[in-house]
Amino acid sequence: MVSQARKSELLFSGSDWNFAKLSRVYDEIEALGTEELGLDIYPVQMEVISSEQMLDAYSSVGMPLMYRHWSFGKRFLYDEFLYRKGARGLAYELVINSNPCIVYLMEENTMALQALVTAHAALGHNHFFKNNHLFRQWTDAGGILSYLDFAKGYIARCEERHGLAAVEAILDSAHALMEQGVFRYHRPPKLSSEQQREGLRERLEYEERSFNDLWRTLPPSQGKTKPEAGDEILAERKKSLKLPEENLLYFLEKNSLVLEPWQREIVRIVRVIAQYFYPQRQTQVMNEGCATFVHYTIMNTLFDRGRISEGAMLEILRNHSNVVFQPTYDDPRYSGINPYALGLDMMQDIQRISTAPTAEDRDWFPDIAGRGDWRDTLLDAWANHRDESFIRQYLSPTLIRKWRLFMLADGADEPHYEVASIHNERGYARIRSALAQSYDIGASRPDIQVVDVDLLGDRHLRLQHKVKDGIMLEGQSRDATLRHIRNLWGYEVSLAAIDAGTGATLSERWTKEL
């Protein structure tokens, strides 16, 4: 009966934490997570940091290692300002998609919070990182830390050799294109291993040594272009350059005529990092929802089994409800839909549909309603969906009613919004589809592609912006970004706005007009 007694013992008491308590709580939570919820996680490395170190980590996009750039300094000042002013608290934790999965715990947290954070990050996020198909296919959790280490060292060496200003100029330009620096539709190549990178670097150095300066002396432009090439040649050219290309950074890295080898490598580093974060941006609702669902379920189970005291549970619940608070649209605190709240509600809704469905649920979700295996359904959703598809598939009429979601149609040239749909029979499908659409990064970010470049002629780089629903680019930032593209490309760049529906050219901007 000793084990029985131990089982109902409190895991911790009091608000102070120490490493022994942390370890005991982690073991318990991990056992619960893997046995009860069927989670599958990377090994965990927990690091305790102070609030200043948390601010440091914020400024370098949450990575423990990062190269140096002024924009991170700027971000640090902003975060510090907001934190000191009390306008914003710090996150209780930070988790990194790596193997082993690194979880930062804040020193100031109470023991109850540390337990909550452990369940949230070390189990929830960890499971999501390891199992979601986007992360599995598009990022390399094992290689990212060593790659960042390489990137930091490489950029520091470049700063020494070529000067801060030169490196900064390249980084500025590359950062401007980070959004356009990811492969959306085909999988990026795996990060090369240490050895391959070494070989690559040697090759770059060889190229640097055998660099022929004559290329640089070619006149920049030869006045008017030669007569228009025939369609056939054009098609040939596009094929050889694999055009159109959506990944501008990739195209510039491979084809720019003015970049030196070290500059190409820097563009590549920025591109790899942008690609690494791309899945995270597509799975905000799911990732946070998964972590929140896991911590909520585990903490409640622990409490039910008498392993957490009522006081600690109250503190956990208080923090939990702060995290999942969703103000309505007319509340001054409203700043968009809270991904924690939406994710958790949808996942709990799936649980409900599986165990206690209504007739409506059986109608909408014949596959899962009443099957009772909500664990498998959730594991499957976490593994195979991103925000857009998850919402498209699982947002139920019950939840739309609960949230009282409605849709506004907003035409820029009209003086008012029109309420297009509300939470009624006719609105469910449209609201669900529109909400899913708004989480589709591919559709909500400007679609800009390289369509043509005449490498043998005047090297004019043609970009195309597919204008959807008449949404144009903001003029000032567009011009500034075009200037950055010109820096990387070295020759004339033009950006044409093409209407996605009709194919008509709406406007064209040349760098020589800037």
Partner 1 sequence: MPIFIDRRLNPKDKSLGNRQRFLRRAREDLKRSIRDKVRTGGIAELDREHAVPMPRKGTDEPTFGDDRESGRRQHILPGNRTFSPGDLIDKPAGGGGYGSAPGTTESEDDFRFVLSREEVLDLFFEDLELPDLVKLNLKQILSFKPRRAGFAASGAPTNINVGRTMRNSHGRRIALRRPKQAEVDEIARQIAELEAKPASAAVRERITTLREELERLERRRRRIAYVDPVDIRFNRFDPQPVPNANAVMFCLMDVSGSMGEREKDLAKRFFVLLHLFLTRRYERIEVVFIRHTHQAKEVDEQTFFYHTESGGTVVSTALEEMHRIIKERYPVAEWNIYAAQASDGDNFATDSERCIELLDRKLMRLCQYFAYVEIIDERESHIFGSTENGTSLWRAYNAVDGKWPNFQMRRIAAPADIYPVFRELFARQPALRKSA
> Contacts with partner 1 in 26-55 (CB under 8 A)?
26-27, 43-50, 52-53
First to last CA, the chain: 81
Binding footprint of partner 1, residue count (CB under 8 A): 97
Task: Report which of 158, 179, 187, 180 is spatially closest to residue 170, judged by C-alpha positions.
Answer: 158
Q: Is 344 in the site for partner 1 (CB under 8 A)?
A: no
Q: Which is nearer to partner 1, 53 or 351 (CB)?
A: 53
In the complex, what is the shortest distance from the CB of residue 353 to partner 1, in angstroms, rounded to a whole number? 20
Stretch 474-503: interaction string toward partner 1, x if CB under 8 A = xxxxx-xx--x-------------------
Among residue numbers 440 through 459, which ones bind partner 1 (CB under 8 A)? Answer: 446, 448
In the complex, what is the shortest distance from the CB of residue 65 to partner 1, in angstroms, rounded to a whole number? 10
Which residue in the set 62, 100, 142, 261 belongs to the binding site for partner 1 (CB under 8 A)? 100
Stretch that binds partner 1, among 269-277, 308-316, 347-355, 403-411 (CB under 8 A): 403-411
Three-state DSSP state, 252: helix
In the complex, what is the shortest distance from the CB of residue 290 to partner 1, in angstroms, rounded to a whole number? 19
Q: Which is nearer to partner 1, 68 or 371 (CB)?
A: 68
Question: Tokens 């144009």, residue?
Answer: 472
Which residue in the set 13, 322, 437, 507 belongs to the binding site for partner 1 (CB under 8 A)? 437
Strand partners, 450: 245, 463
Strand partners, 465: 448, 497
Which residue in the set 98, 297, 377, 421 belongs to the binding site for partner 1 (CB under 8 A)? 421
d(CA 50, CA 170): 33
In the complex, what is the shortest distance from the CB of residue 406 to partner 1, in angstroms, rounded to a whole number? 4
Stretch that binds partner 1, among 131-139, 251-259, 311-319, 401-409 (CB under 8 A): 401-409
Which residue in the set 144, 302, 369, 405 belongs to the binding site for partner 1 (CB under 8 A)? 405
In the complex, what is the shortest distance from the CB of residue 160 to partner 1, in angstroms, rounded to a whole number? 13
Other C-beta atoms lying within 10 Å of the C-beta of residue 242: 12
d(CA 381, CA 23): 30
Q: In what order do the strands lie in the sheet with 447-453?
A: 447-453, 461-467, 493-499, 505-510
Q: Which is nearer to partner 1, 184 or 362 (CB)?
A: 184
For residue 314, give Cα distances in angstroms to 88, 309, 449.
23, 9, 52
In the complex, what is the shortest distance from the CB of residue 385 to partner 1, in angstroms, rounded to a whole number? 19
Can you list the alpha helix ranges (DSSP code H) found in 230-338?
A: 231-240, 248-255, 261-282, 284-304, 310-323
Q: Is 427 in the site for partner 1 (CB under 8 A)?
A: yes
Other C-beta atoms lying within 10 Å of the C-beta of residue 173: 23
Angle value at C-alpha 476, between 502 and 410, nearest 5 degrees:
50
Quote the tokens at residue 281.
């941006």
Stretch that binds partner 1, among 6-14, 224-232, 316-324, 464-472 (CB under 8 A): 464-472
Q: Which is nearer to partner 1, 354 or 421 (CB)?
A: 421
Instruction: Annotate 42-84 with DSSP letters as a single string.
Output: --EEEEEE-HHHHHHHHHTTT-SS----HHHHHHHHHHHHHHH
Q: How far is CA 432 from the centre of its chain?
A: 22
In the complex, what is the shortest distance from the CB of residue 430 to partner 1, in angstroms, rounded to a whole number? 9
Stretch that binds partner 1, among 133-141, 221-229, 375-383, 427-435 (CB under 8 A): 427-435
Which residue in the set 306, 327, 366, 501 belongs to the binding site for partner 1 (CB under 8 A)? 327
Among residue numbers 201 through 260, which ones bind partner 1 (CB under 8 A)? Answer: none
Task: Name the DSSP letter for residue 507.
Answer: E
Q: 349 near 399, Cβ under 8 Å?
A: yes
Q: Which is nearer to partner 1, 266 or 378 (CB)?
A: 266
Among residue numbers 152 through 171, which ones bind partner 1 (CB under 8 A)? Answer: 164, 168
d(CA 86, CA 428): 40
Among residue numbers 109 through 128, which ones bind partner 1 (CB under 8 A)? Answer: 122
In the complex, what is the shortest distance from the CB of residue 52 to partner 1, in angstroms, rounded to a whole number? 5
Q: Is 108 in the site for partner 1 (CB under 8 A)?
A: no
Instruction: Tell me the backbone φ, ψ of residue 498, rounded to 5 degrees.
Output: -115, 130
d(CA 147, CA 265): 13
Q: Which is nearer to partner 1, 162 or 478 (CB)?
A: 478
Stretch 50-89: interaction string toward partner 1, x if CB under 8 A = x-xx--x--xx-------xxxxxxx-xxx-xx--------
Among residue numbers 169 through 198, which ones bind partner 1 (CB under 8 A)? Answer: 172, 175-180
Burial 31-47 (b: 16+ CB within 10 A, else e): ebbeeebebebbebebe
Which residue in the set 91, 337, 451, 455 belongs to the binding site for partner 1 (CB under 8 A)? 337
